[in-house]
C-alpha cells in the first residue's frame, strides 16, 4: 500500500523520507502513538506562489513540509520585506500553534509545488486528549529546544562577524546548496540585509565580512551565485 502523501503529491513532488513521528518534537513516542499521529494528519497540496499562511494570522496549524520549498518573509509597517529563511522538505513550520492566541510572525510562500502534512490546533488538541503522552513529549521537546536556542544566542557574543557569517552560509549551503567541482553553490539570492538579520550584524559589517571571507578563499562569487569553496569546507 502506497503512502497517502505519495498519492496526493503525485510524481511531480519529490517527498522527504521524514514523517511526523520522526520530528524532534515527537521524539520517544510509542509506535502506537506515532501511528495515531500519521492517521490523524491532514495533507495539503499547494501550488508554486500560493501562501501557506500570512503574517499576523492566528496560528492555528502546524506543518511538516513533505515536499517542495517554502520562503518565510517578514513584512514591516513601511512595506519593506525581509526573507528570513527558506524551508525545505523535511522541515517543520507552525510551532506558534502551542502559544495561547499566538500569531504567525511571517508570511510563508511556496517557492515550488509543495505538499504539507500536519494538524489544525483543534485536531491536535483532540489527538492529545486521546493520547496524553504525545502532549507531554511535546512539552519536553519544546523545553529542550528553548534551552538549545538560548545557548546559541549566547555564543553570538563570543565569535566575530566573519565566523558567524561563515557559519550561517554553511548552514544555508547544507540545506539548500548543490555540489560543484569548486565547492557548494548557494542557488538562491541572499541579500546583505537577509544575512544581517541571520547573524545579528549591521549591513555594513556584512559587506566587510564578505570581503574578508573572499580574501581568505572561503567564498567565491560567480555572477549572482555564491560558492563555498571545497578547500575551506
- Residue 112 is classified by DSSP as S
Residue 115 has what pLDDT? 93
Residues 153-210: tens digit of each pLDDT: 555 555 688 888 888 888 888 777 888 888 898 876 677 767 776 777 787 888 899 9
Assigned architecture for domain 4-155? Sandwich (2.60)
Residues 82-133: tens digit of each pLDDT: 888 888 888 888 877 777 667 888 999 999 999 999 999 899 889 999 999 9
Q: How far is the C-alpha of 137 from the C-alpha of 163, rounded, in Å? A: 35
Q: How far is the C-alpha of 179 from the C-alpha of 33, rounded, in Å? A: 38
Is the overall model pTM greater than 0.85, yes or no? no
Residues of the chain with CATH 2.60.120.10: 4-155
- Mean pLDDT, to the nearest integer, of 45-58? 92
Residue 172 has what pLDDT? 80
Report residue 1's pLDDT band, with 50, 70 and 90 as the boundaries. very low
Q: How far is the C-alpha of 175 from the C-alpha of 193, rounded, in Å? A: 20
* CA distances for 63 relative to 150, 155, 167, angstroms: 24, 29, 27
Judged against a pLDDT cut of 60, whether residue 2 lies above it is answered with no
Q: How far is the C-alpha of 137 from the C-alpha of 26, rounded, in Å? A: 6
Residues of the chain with CATH 1.10.10.10: 159-229
Q: How far is the C-alpha of 75 from the C-alpha of 136, rounded, in Å? A: 34
Q: What is the third-level CATH fold of 159-229?
A: Arc Repressor Mutant, subunit A (1.10.10)
- Mean pLDDT, to the nearest integer, of 68-81? 88
Scan for cell 550561517, then name that residue: 168
Residues 21-49: tens digit of each pLDDT: 888 788 888 889 988 988 888 999 999 99
* CA distances for 195 relative to 151, 153, 210, angstroms: 20, 16, 10
Amino acid at each position: 500500500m502506497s503512502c497517502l502523501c505519495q498519492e496526493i503529491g503525485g510524481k511531480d513532488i519529490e517527498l522527504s523520507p521524514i514523517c511526523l513521528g520522526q520530528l524532534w518534537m515527537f521524539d520517544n513516542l510509542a509506535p502506537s502513538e506515532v501511528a495515531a499521529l500519521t492517521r490523524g494528519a491532514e495533507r495539503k497540496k499547494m501550488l508554486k506562489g500560493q501562501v501557506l499562511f500570512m503574517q499576523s494570522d492566528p496560528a492555528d496549524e502546524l506543518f511538516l513540509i513533505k515536499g517542495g520549498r517554502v520562503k518565510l518573509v517578514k513584512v514591516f509597517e513601511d512595506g519593506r520585506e525581509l526573507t528570513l529563511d527558506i524551508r525545505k522538505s523535511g522541515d517543520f513550520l507552525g510551532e506558534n500553534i502551542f502559544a495561547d492566541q499566538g500569531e504567525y510572525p511571517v508570511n510563508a510562500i511556496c517557492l515550488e509545488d509543495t505538499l504539507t502534512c500536519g494538524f489544525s490546533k483543534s485536531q491536535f488538541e483532540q489527538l492529545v486528549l486521546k493520547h496524553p503522552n504525545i502532549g507531554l513529549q511535546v512539552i519536553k521537546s519544546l523545553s529542550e529546544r528553548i534551552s538549545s536556542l538560548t545557548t546559541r544566542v549566547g555564543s553570538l557574543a563570543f565569535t566575530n562577524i566573519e565566523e558567524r557569517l561563515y557559519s550561517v552560509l554553511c548552514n544555508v549551503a547544507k540545506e539548500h546548496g548543490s555540489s560543484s567541482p569548486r565547492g557548494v553553490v548557494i542557488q538562491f539570492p541572499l541579500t546583505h540585509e537577509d544575512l544581517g538579520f541571520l547573524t545579528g550584524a549591521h549591513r555594513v559589517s556584512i559587506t566587510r565580512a564578505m570581503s574578508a571571507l573572499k580574501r581568505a578563499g572561503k567564498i567565491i562569487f560567480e555572477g549572482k551565485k555564491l560558492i563555498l569553496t571545497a578547500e575551506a569546507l
